[in-house]
Chains A and B, each alone.
With several copies, the nearest count.
Chain A
Amino acid sequence: MNRNSQLTCGQGPLDKHAIAALIARDIPRGAYVNLGIGQPTLVADHLPADSGVVLHTENGMLNMGPAAEEGQVDPDLTNAGKVPVTELPGAAYFHHADSFAMMRGGHLDICVLGAFQVSAAGDLANWHTGAPDAIPAVGGAMDLAIGAKKVFVMMTLFAKDGTPKLVPECGYPLTGLACVDRVYTDLAVFDVTAQGLTVRETFGTTVEELAGRLDLPLRRPATA
């Protein structure tokens, strides 16, 4: 575990803990946030104790606490990944229709999701490889993708085989159309804007280098 990774601007590539720390830094105080299953859950480890950030889990809870430690496990209290968790003061429980109404009605400030691919227009593919023998399983991903006020993606910029995951158009089946606001990766952070992808920061690389490796026009931030 590397929970104490510090943001090292300019150095890179970042490991998953450093990406999680970056995301945590960008979550405003008191925000209501859903962290998707898998790597996005690491973001919780990097939220300051006094952040006032309230975590939502789609199986019906606000103010979810950290994973249960030994002796704290309660089979009635799990997160969306079915991992035993804990409860913080100010918690509330609700049923699934209310939980998803909360998501779909635009009440969550931010959700953080993993991705197979994100397109230049902010289309998200994160539920299905489309492989003929794959068993499709979507869970709450499509609801989160269209529901949260801001959708942050956390992923590596390139797949293990070196192909980019930030692409002109997604090849994998979509989770949602034009729903991603920002993409946090090991090599850079991107904003999806009406004018295209804007690079916010790079880690151990440059915008020019990235532009060469991605089949995409990249913009620098207006202030850069």
Chain B
Amino acid sequence: MSARLCEHADEAVAGIEDGSTVLVGGFGMAGMPVELIDALIRQGAKDLTVVSNNAGNGDTGLAALLAKGRVRKVVCSFPRQSDSYVFDELYRSGKIELEVVPQGNLAERMRAAGAGIGAFYCPTGVGTLLAEGKETRVIDGRTYVLEYPIKGDVALIGAHRADRTGNLVYRKTARNFGPVMATAATTVIAQVREVVETGVLDPETVVTPSIFVDRVVQEADRT
């Protein structure tokens, strides 16, 4: 179904349930859907599993969600950063679970979820701690680890522009995980800088077609 345009981020995140797996776009701050995360904090869903490349910086965005105690588990490639003190403290005190996933596996496992792939044999991590206990197979003389899809109940992503049907374009390296997460979640919610009339975006340049997008909200400081 076509995307629904929301007036406010609070409307966009309505209905996210306790216990949901939430895919959160962004790589550092680039592409991070900050207004949606803030709205999710207000919305109150708890016991969440968050899948994102990082585990929050400073006191805002993802770190603020963590600080509120809403997140049971983080699945990410790189939790540790210079200012990831909120996560660090929760982790060290045993208040949050962590699954570290190689960044390429994080992306490919979400792609698999979006593409209907049941599992795939992956060359990354063979012989490492992160493949311990996982099935392996030698194919054509090379060893691979079997990896399973990561599917979200919800994806919160940031994009540059949307048209009124939900087609999305991104800008520079803020594209990162957005297009992949948009394929991998049941409900996909996009925060964009600008909503344009349908027909304005060049169809050759659409990166996330509207079929993947459920709700769109324009950033409040741009409306």
Question: Using a CB–CB distance below 8 Å, which chain A residues touch chain B?
Answer: 28, 30-32, 52, 54, 56-63, 74-79, 82, 87, 89-97, 99-109, 123, 128, 133, 135-143, 146-147, 173-177
The stretch of B9-17, B38-46, B177-185 in contact with A is B177-185
Known: A140-B102, A177-B127. A78 touches B198 (CB 8 A): no
Q: Mark B79-109, 1 if CB is under 8 A from A, else 0.
A: 1100000011001100000101111111110
Interchain Cβ contacts under 8 Å between A and B, 14 examples: A77-B172, A78-B28, A78-B30, A82-B29, A94-B175, A94-B209, A95-B175, A95-B178, A96-B53, A104-B123, A137-B77, A138-B101, A142-B130, A146-B124
A174–chain B nearest beta-carbon distance, Å: 5
Which A residues lie within 8 Å of B198 (CB)? 89-90
Q: Which of B103, B129, B203 has the most CB of A within 10 A?
A: B103
Are A142 and B165 in contact, with the CB atoms below 8 A? Answer: no
Are A107 and B210 in contact, with the CB atoms below 8 A? Answer: no
Give the distance in Å from the alpha carbon of A125 to the alpha carbon of B162 in the complex. Answer: 40
Are A101 and B172 in contact, with the CB atoms below 8 A? Answer: no
Give the distance in Å from the alpha carbon of A36 to the alpha carbon of B215 in the complex. Answer: 29
Besides A100-B103, A173-B128, 20 more A-B contacts (Cβ < 8 Å) are A76-B31, A76-B160, A77-B173, A82-B28, A91-B203, A91-B206, A92-B167, A94-B209, A97-B110, A102-B211, A105-B114, A105-B115, A135-B91, A136-B80, A136-B98, A138-B103, A139-B77, A139-B78, A140-B103, A174-B129
Which 8 residue pairs across A and B have the least CB separation, nearest first?
A89-B199, A100-B104, A143-B104, A101-B115, A104-B116, A82-B28, A92-B206, A91-B203
Known: A82-B27, A94-B209. A128 touches B172 (CB 8 A): no
Chain A-chain B contacts (Cβ-Cβ < 8 Å), number:
206
Which B residues lie within 8 Å of A30 (CB)? 1-2
Give the distance in Å from the alpha carbon of A51 to the alpha carbon of B160 in the complex. Answer: 28
Count of chain B residues with a beta carbon within 8 Å of a chain A beta carbon: 69
Closest to B57 in A: A82
Are B77 and A59 in contact, with the CB atoms below 8 A? Answer: no
B218 within 8 A of A: no
Chain B 31-70 residues near chain A, CB threshold 8 A: 31, 53
Are A54 and B173 in contact, with the CB atoms below 8 A? Answer: no
B163 within 8 A of A: yes
Are A105 and B116 in contact, with the CB atoms below 8 A? Answer: yes
Q: Which of A31, A76, A90, A142 contacts B174 (CB 8 A)?
A: A76
Which B residues lie within 8 Å of A137 (CB)? 77-80, 100
Give the distance in Å from the alpha carbon of A59 to the alpha carbon of B29 in the complex. Answer: 12
B19 within 8 A of A: no
Which B residues lie within 8 Å of A141 (CB)? 102
Q: Which of B1, B92, B98, B107 contacts A96 (CB 8 A)?
A: B107
Are B173 and A61 in contact, with the CB atoms below 8 A? Answer: yes
B111 within 8 A of A: yes
Are A143 and B98 in contact, with the CB atoms below 8 A? Answer: no
Known: A75-B29, A82-B27, A142-B125. A32 touches B108 (CB 8 A): no
Give the distance in Å from the alpha carbon of A137 to the alpha carbon of B81 in the complex. Answer: 9
